[in-house]
Amino acid sequence: GGNVHHSTGSTVAGAGIGSTAPKFGNTSIAFDGVRDFIDVWGAHDATPGTGSTDFNFGSGSFTVEAWINLSGSVANEVEGDVEKDNQVIFTTGGWPVAAAPGWTFYLYGATTNHRIAFNNTLGQGAVAFAPDTDHREFHPLARKWYHVAVVRDASTQEAPTGYIFVDGKTQLTWADTGGMAESTSSLRIGDTTHAALYTAGLYSFAGYMDDIRITKGVARYTTNFTPEEGEIVSMNSGSV
- This prediction has a pTM of 0.84
Give Cα separations from 35 to 5, 10, 122, 152, 205 (angstroms): 27, 14, 27, 29, 8
In tens, the pLDDT along 158-213 reads 788 989 999 999 988 888 777 777 777 788 899 988 778 888 888 899 999 999 99
> CA-CA distance, 147 to 164, in Å (whole number)?
11
Report the alpha-carbon distance of residue 204 to residue 86 in Å, rounded.
8
DSSP one-letter code for 72: B
- The identity of residue 216, as a single letter, is K
Return the pLDDT at 8. 57
Q: Which of 30, 7, 8, 26 is nearest to 17 (CA)?
A: 30
92 SS3 class = coil
Q: Angle CA(41)–CA(38)–CA(5) in degrees, nearest 5?
A: 35
